[in-house]
Structure 1
Amino acid sequence: MTMDEVKKILVPVGFDAFTEKELEIAANIAKRYDAEVHILHVYQDVFSVLSMRTLDLDRAAVEEKIHSSVEEKLHQLVAEVRMDSPAKAVAIKGEIVDSIIEYVKNEQIDLVVLATHGRAGISHFFLGSVAENVIRFSPCPVLTFRTPPKKD
């Protein structure tokens, strides 16, 4: 694949300090190659991490509230970052890496732009690396840039 064939760019975002930089890089590439930018946030099922005491909550209402909140945040992000190319914001509930790879395949993404968070030591051992696994399993090229390392 050549860069001229890049028509769909995916930016998985975590709403962290580097999200704006990821979007800026993707926007520049998209403008140059007349590509569409897909901004994806994957969030986990809140009920899988909460204790059993949450059973009395209205699960559907809570999930809808979380999804709406994430979508609103994504749309604000798109509005804040100057996008000269078409942009699509999507929120998905699921496992992060699996959801990113599935989205890449389903949407026929040509390029993924992703920050590596520079985790080292024990946190990398236990948490693994989203970027590393996206690179390993993505059917398309992944452009990464390194962010300053976090201390354990």
Structure 2
Amino acid sequence: MSHDDKMQLHPKKILLPVDFSPSSDAALKTATEFAQHFQSQLVLLNILPVIPIVSADEFSSCYFPQQEFLEEAKKKASERLATCTHHLAGMGVQASSLVEVGNDIVGNLLMVIDREHIDMVVISTHGTSGWRPTVFGSIAEKVVRLAKCPILLLRSAKAG
């Protein structure tokens, strides 16, 4: 293989799906190192489900209309991501964040990849999806199959 035939990887925009799990925290460290090395922009993405999945303790005895619940969840996710992007800026990494809403996690990821002109995705194999991979298949596996940009798949230990 000649030098010209080798794939050149120099991502300008790296997408990191964040679900605030220990796996995505670990992926953030790796994505940050890549962004520093390549002087890339790091785009943090949190996707909220349309139908919130909460425990009885989180829901308490109060009833929250779905729109109010989603607005509050978006606000909290945006605040957490803003804290992260501020920390990244202190490390010299240009970072931005997005909060999307939808139950089709992979579809939302692919839409953001196209819309934001993402050059690379860093994703961990286990997040907060719990039982969902057993029923619906792995989100990371689907992203690897369907995304048209390079994917760095980080294997993380299964919780519990």
Q: Give the TM-score band, short-chain normalised.
A: 0.7 to 0.9
Q: 1:71 to 1:25 in 2, by over 3 A?
A: same
1:93 maps to what in 2?
101
Distance 1:59-1:145 versus aligned 2 partners, 3 A rule: closer
Counterpart in 2 of 1:52? none
- Partner SS for 2:20: coil
What's the counterpart of residue 75 of structure 1? Answer: 82
Amino acid across the alignment from 1:90: L
Question: What residue in structure 1 maps to residue 126 of structure 2?
Answer: 117
Deviation at 1:80, TM superposition (A): 4.5
Deviation at 1:58, TM superposition (A): 4.6
Does the alignment pair 1:11 with 2:20? no
Equivalent residues of 2:14, 2:119 under 8 A apart: yes
Kindly indicate whether residue 73 of structure 2 is the aligned counterpart of residue 66 of structure 1. yes
Tell me, which stretches of 5 or more residues in structure 2 are unaligned? Answer: 1-6, 55-62
Amino acid across the alignment from 1:62: F
SS in 1 for 2:71: helix
2:32 is aligned with 1:24: no
What is the CA–CA distance in structure 1 between the aligned matches of 2:101 and 2:132, rounded to whole Å? 24
C-alpha RMSD over aligned residues:
2.5
C-alpha distance 37-128 of structure 1, shift in aligned 2 (>3 A): same
Identity over aligned pairs, percent? 28
Structure with the larger helix share: 1
Q: In 2, Cα distance between the equivalents of 1:3 and 1:103? A: 20
Q: Please give the alpha-carbon distance, in whole angstroms, between the structure 1 residues aligned to 2:20 and 2:31.
A: 15
Partners of 1:40 and 1:132 lie apart in 2 by 18
Q: TM-score, normalised by structure 1?
A: 0.80
Unaligned runs of 5+ in 1: 50-55
Distance 1:123 1:64, change over 3 A: closer
In structure 2, the residue corresponding to 1:46 is in which secondary structure?
A: coil
Residue of structure 1 aligned with 2:143, choices 118, 134, 149: 134
Alignment correspondent of 1:53: none
- Describe the shift of the 1:33–1:93 C-alpha distance in structure 2 as closer, same or farther (beyond 3 A): same
Moved more, 142-151 or 28-37: 142-151
TM-score by length of 2: 0.77
The one-letter code of the counterpart of 2:78 is: E
Cα offset, 1:33, TM superposition: 1.1
